[in-house]
């Protein structure tokens, strides 16, 4: 049986009050949409539009919440990797990090990332047992001209994973190209009834959507592909200092994106993604390790899980450490525990990420996998053999006896969770094995993983076809 | 020496050539010298299944296989050294590399104990397979014995004759038993930092009683390390049960 409870920050009554405050913000303050297409759609659906400002009426909001699905089947190119997001999901799903500018490893330290680094992160994600969704842009390939990046990155994504995909905001034309390319691999017309790729879309908090995020929401909805609306407001900067005030603002941000999606295609998947942070108010800068941040986000998770019945997602493994040190460990574990136990269906920014999403580390990727696996195991709760109350066995063994030699112990001793990178040896054995710390062990593990990874997951003919597609588009 | 059970092969394999009384019959697989290929293969198969069953920790099946091997005419000493002790060496190695977990190792050790009981009455004086005598106990004032018991099981499986004095062992008891049993090794264990000084006193008293010349002292327990072992004048320190039996063999070699 899973754990008896999720972490809740507020009671159900408070959720209703937050919802009412959100309706008030959407109806009276409204949200700005920098897109004529979106504004026209809002007008058609009965919203009051004044310039770019849209006042979303309660009825439209409620209708949209009604049509948004409570779970999404997200298909992998390899059908075995297909996942359910939202209600009915059996474990937390995990996405690679996204948006890092630098790559860090033990030997070379921090450097501007290259395409080679990006490919290595794709390979690690594909092989990772905890990572169930791949894609994104774990590090920016600074050695590829910016105009070539979208297609080249997507080509490498398809080459190096068969898992369901996460992508970022793009102009409509690029999204259409990407979907066409994906259907070269899975068959034309596949996407229309197989959600396979979701895009993470950020509102411009507070209460605004820029053109490309709007195009992304609308284009994905037209193709029946999900979006995840991720608000990353900063309490005291782009949201109120009040934690519940920030939760209301963030709720309004996310729900207005959801309404847009449902107006395009009722029933298109929307993943509710609260990721607001309490910043470093000394410098008014974004930081990720505050224990207060997820007091906001868990309230929003509660809104989605209890009131709206939506799939949820949040940035769960963040930290402000510059290298994979003790701070990286404790901030990451704090955030993972809070977000995963708060019930997020999908977690991201949790495989390798450092330095407030500036840097991605190969060694930290391996450490993060273990941290996530620890929490996943905890969340499984007591099940199987562990539900045996064992009174008879206790009687058999008696005072001063040993359970170590009982057959039930031998039979089950391998089912217990084991670490992948933590050292559980005694001091002598650790000394004998070279006194390695977690960084050194993680370095060895990630290199072994990369060495064992196939160069491509594509059939040669398909790979040539996709490569030709990219070359043709890039001239 | 009985060759019962090998009757099917007796036409081509006269008994004396299989387990002859020649010196080659003692130790190693040299007893197979002179055996035909078929017999050789069958004996090897008997021994291998014993080793495999021991490693799998299946005590009931192991006793059955040992009896079958005896029925096939394989000498008890050969079964013990070539199949069982050899198997425990594999278990020890796998424990060290983490391939086997402690509960699995203990099941093998317990199975080993059961098999040895079957063989004991059949072992001759020539089958002097004892790796040495050990007296072991947890020091006065300390009631912890899980680790010490693991050491006992591992040592017994490795062929040591172990006298386990239990927990909360008075120094005088150690001295008496050392005089009586004349062990090769005395093992002293403590879990508590508060009983570590008692380890020191125990070692000192053994020395003062003039018994140090004949025994090696090994110490172990969670708070103990090599530095402490050196400081109190112990001969050896082992960090865990697997290394304890290995170390015991090494210091007697």
Cα B56 to chain centroid, rounded: 18
For a pLDDT cut of 70, what percent of chain A falls above it? 100
Nearest to A292, CA basis, from A241, A350, A326, A349 = A241
Contact assessment for residue A278 and residue A286, using Cβ atoms and an 8 Å cutoff: no
- Report pLDDT for B30: 56
Instruction: Set out the domains of chain B in order of their start, with CATH numbers.
Output: 7-122 (1.10.1240.10), 132-252 (3.40.50.280)
Note the pLDDT of residue B26: 40
State residue B2's pLDDT score: 35
What percent of chain B is modeled with pLDDT above 90?
Answer: 59
Interface of A with B in 380-419 (CB under 8 A): 402, 404-405, 407, 409-410, 413-414
To which H or E segment does residue B187 belong?
strand B185-189
* Candidates A403, A427, A429, A441, partner chain B, best to mutate (most B CBs within 10 A): A429
User: What is the DSSP code string of A210-257?
Assistant: -HHHHHHHHHHHHTT--EEEEE--BBTTTB-SSHHHHHHHHHHHHHHH
Are A261 and A221 spatial neighbours (Cβ–Cβ below 8 Å)?
A: yes
Measured in degrees and rounded to the nearest 5, phi and psi for residue A413 equal -65, -20
Min Cα–Cα distance to chain A from B1, Å = 37
- The DSSP code for A455 is S
- The interface predicted TM-score of the complex, written ipTM, equals 0.75
Give chain B positions within 8 Å (CB) of A405. 103, 106-107, 110
Report the C-alpha gap between B108 and B58 in whole angstroms: 7
Which pLDDT belongs to residue B124?
A: 80
Inter-chain contact A410–B225, Cβ cutoff 8 Å?
no
Judging contacts by C-beta atoms under 8 Å, the chain B residues touching residue A419 are none
Residues A381, A387, A393, A397, Cα dihedral to 10° = 10
pLDDT for residue B33? 66
Percentage of chain A exceeding pLDDT 90: 96
- CA-based angle A373:A377:A382, to the nearest 5? 175
Which residues of chain B register pLDDT less than 50? 1-28
Structure token digits, residue B78: 């050969």
B57: nearest Cα among B28, B79, B81, B90: B90
Q: Is residue A116 scored above 80 in pLDDT?
A: yes
Q: Report the pLDDT value the prediction gives residue B36, as an integer from 0 to 100.
A: 78
Closest CA to B247 of B218, B226, B225, B206: B218
Q: Name the CA dihedral angle for B187, B192, B197, B203, rounded to a multiple of 10 degrees.
A: 0
Distance CA(A375)–CA(A405), nearest Å, equals: 29
> pLDDT grade, residue A121 (50/70/90)?
very high
Q: What CA–CA distance (Å, rounded) separates B154 from A311?
A: 53
The reply to whether residue B106 touches residue A414, judged by beta carbons under 8 angstroms, is no
* DSSP characters over B69-90: HHHTT--HHHIIIIIIIHHHHH
A2: closest CA among A412, A386, A459, A418? Answer: A386
- Nearest by CB to B104, from A410, A426, A427: name it: A410
For B105, residues 6+ apart whose C-beta sits below 8 A from its C-beta are B91, B92, B94, B95, B154, B242
Task: Tell me whether residues A410 and B103 touch, CB distance under 8 A.
Answer: yes
Contact B106 A426 (CB under 8 A): no
Taking an 8 Å cut-off on Cβ atoms, the answer to whether B239 and A428 are in contact is yes
Measured between CB atoms, which of B107, B239, B243 is closest to A410?
A: B107
Test mutation, B99, B220, B227, B239, chain A, max A CBs within 10 A: B239
Question: Which one is predicted more confidently, B1 or A169?
Answer: A169
Cβ neighbors of A282 (< 8 A, separation 6 or more) are none
First to last CA, chain B: 31
Sheet arrangement for strand A359-361: A109-112, A102-105, A359-361, A353-354
Which residues are registered as beta bridge partners of A208? A32
Is the pLDDT score of A192 beyond 60?
A: yes
Report the candidate in B243, B245, B95 with the shortest Cα–Cα distance to residue B157: B245
**What does the block give as tokens for A2?**
């899973």
- The answer to whether A413 contacts B149, with C-beta atoms less than 8 Å apart, is no
Residues on chain A touching B243 (C-beta within 8 angstroms):
428
Yes or no, beta carbons of A410 and B110 under 8 Å apart? no
| B134 sits in which H/E element | strand B132-138
Ranges of each domain in chain A: 66-380, 384-415
Question: Is B239 within 8 Å of A429 when comparing Cβ atoms?
Answer: yes
pTM of the prediction?
0.89
Task: Record the tokens describing residue A196, joined without a space.
Answer: 């396979």
Can you name the residues that pair with A110 across neighbouring β-strands? A104
Determine the distance in angstroms separating the CA of B212 from the nearest CA of chain A, rounded to an integer: 27
Q: Which residue of B has its CA nearest to A402?
A: B146
- The reply to whether A432 touches chain B by the CB within 8 Å rule is no
User: Which of A405, A426, A428 is closest, CB to CB, to B110?
Assistant: A405
How far is it, in rounded angstroms, from Cα A39 to Cα A27?
A: 15
Residues of B in contact with A427 (CB under 8 A): 225, 239
- Is the pLDDT higher at A406 or at A107? A107
Substitution target in A428, A432, A433, A441 with the highest count of B β-carbons within 10 Å is A428
C-alpha span between A231 and A277 (Å, rounded): 10
Q: Which two tokens stand for residue B238?
A: 């082992």
Structure tokens at A465: 């076809």
Tell me, which fold does domain A66-380 have in CATH? TIM Barrel (3.20.20)
Instruction: Spell out which residues of chain A touch residue B225, defining contact as CB-CB under 8 Å.
Output: 427-428
> Are the Cβ atoms of B225 and A428 closer than 8 angstroms?
yes
Q: Do A409 and B240 touch (CB under 8 A)?
A: no
Query: Among all residues of chain A, which has the CA nearest to that of B143?
Result: A400
Angle at B205 between CA B202 and CA B208, to 5 degrees: 155
Check residue B23 and give its pLDDT.
38
**Is A428 part of the contact surface with chain B (CB cutoff 8 Å)?**
yes
pLDDT at B159: 86
Q: Give the three-class secondary structure for A108.
A: coil
Q: What 3-state class would DSSP assign to A111?
A: strand
**pLDDT > 50? residue A233:** yes
Nearest by CB to B103, from A404, A428, A429: name it: A404
Contact at CB, B101 and A413, closer than 8 angstroms: yes
Residues in chain B: 253
B243–A428: do the CB atoms touch at under 8 Å? yes
Q: What is the largest CA-CA distance in chain A?
A: 79
């Amino acid at each position: 049986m899973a754990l008896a409870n999720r972490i809740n920050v507020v009671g159900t009554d408070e959720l209703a009050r937050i919802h009412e405050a959100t309706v008030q913000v959407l109806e009276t303050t409204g949200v700005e949409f920098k897109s004529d297409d979106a504004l026209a759609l809002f007008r058609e659906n009965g919203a009051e539009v004044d310039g770019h400002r849209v006042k979303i009426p309660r009825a439209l909001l409620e209708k949209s919440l009604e049509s948004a699905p409570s779970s999404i089947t997200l298909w992998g190119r390899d059908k075995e990797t297909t996942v359910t997001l939202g209600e009915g999901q059996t474990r937390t799903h995990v996405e690679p990090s996204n948006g890092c500018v630098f790559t860090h490893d033990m030997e070379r330290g921090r450097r501007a990332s290259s395409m080679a680094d990006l490919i290595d992160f794709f390979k690690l994600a594909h092989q990772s047992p905890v990572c169930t969704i791949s894609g994104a842009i774990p590090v920016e390939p600074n050695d590829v001209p910016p105009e070539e990046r979208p297609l080249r990155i997507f080509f490498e994504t398809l080459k190096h994973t068969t898992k369901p995909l996460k992508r970022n905001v793009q102009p409509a034309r690029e999204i259409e190209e990407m979907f066409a390319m994906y259907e070269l691999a899975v068959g034309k017309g596949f996407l229309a009834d197989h959600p396979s790729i979701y895009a993470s879309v950020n509102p411009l908090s507070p209460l605004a959507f820029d053109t490309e995020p709007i195009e992304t929401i609308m284009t994905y909805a037209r193709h029946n592909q999900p979006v995840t609306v991720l608000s990353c407001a900063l309490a005291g900067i782009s949201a109120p200092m009040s934690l519940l005030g920030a939760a209301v603002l963030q709720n309004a941000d996310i729900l207005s994106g959801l309404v847009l999606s449902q107006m395009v295609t009722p029933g298109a998947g929307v993943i509710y993604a609260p990721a607001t942070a309490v910043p470093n108010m000394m410098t008014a800068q974004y930081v990720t390790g505050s224990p207060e941040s997820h007091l906001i986000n868990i309230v929003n998770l509660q809104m989605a899980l209890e009131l709206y019945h939506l799939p949820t997602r949040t940035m769960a493994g963040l930290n402000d450490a510059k290298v994979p040190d003790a701070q990286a460990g404790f901030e990451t574990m704090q955030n993972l525990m809070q977000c995963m136990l708060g019930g997020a269906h999908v977690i991201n920014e949790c495989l390798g990420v450092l330095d407030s999403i500036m840097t991605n580390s190969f060694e930290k990727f391996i450490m993060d996998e273990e941290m996530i696996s620890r929490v996943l195991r905890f969340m499984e709760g007591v099940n199987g053999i562990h539900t045996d109350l064992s009174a008879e066995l206790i009687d058999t063994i008696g005072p001063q006896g040993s359970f170590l030699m009982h057959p039930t112990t031998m039979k089950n001793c391998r089912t217990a969770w084991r670490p992948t990178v933590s050292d559980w040896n005694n001091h002598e054995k650790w000394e004998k094995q070279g006194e390695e710390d977690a960084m050194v062990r993680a370095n060895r593990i990630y290199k072994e993983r990369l060495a064992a990874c196939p160069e491509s997951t594509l059939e040669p003919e398909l790979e040539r076809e996709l490569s030709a597609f990219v070359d043709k588009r890039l001239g | 020496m009985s060759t019962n059970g090998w009757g099917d092969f007796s036409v081509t394999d006269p008994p004396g050539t299989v387990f002859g009384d020649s010196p080659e019959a003692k130790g190693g697989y040299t007893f197979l010298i002179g055996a035909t290929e078929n017999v050789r293969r069958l004996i090897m198969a008997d021994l291998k299944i014993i080793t495999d069953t021991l490693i799998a920790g299946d005590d009931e099946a192991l006793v059955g296989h040992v009896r079958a091997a005896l029925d096939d005419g394989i000498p008890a000493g050969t079964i013990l050294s070539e199949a069982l002790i050899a198997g425990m060496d594999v278990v020890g190695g796998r424990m060290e590399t983490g391939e086997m977990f402690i509960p699995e190792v203990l099941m093998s050790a317990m199975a080993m104990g059961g098999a040895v009981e079957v063989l004991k009455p059949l072992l001759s004086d020539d089958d002097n397979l004892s790796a040495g005598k050990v007296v072991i106990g947890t020091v006065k004032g300390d009631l912890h014995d899980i680790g010490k018991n693991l050491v006992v099981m591992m040592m017994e499986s490795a062929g040591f004759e172990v006298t386990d004095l239990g927990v909360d062992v008075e120094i005088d008891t150690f001295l008496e038993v050392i005089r009586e049993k004349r062990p090769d090794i005395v093992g002293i264990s403590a879990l508590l930092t508060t009983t570590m000084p008692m380890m020191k006193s125990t070692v000192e008293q053994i020395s003062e009683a003039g018994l140090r010349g004949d025994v090696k002292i090994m110490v172990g327990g969670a708070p103990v390390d090599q530095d402490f072992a050196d400081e109190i004048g112990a001969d050896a320190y082992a960090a865990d049960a697997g290394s304890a039996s290995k170390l015991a063999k090494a210091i007697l070699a």
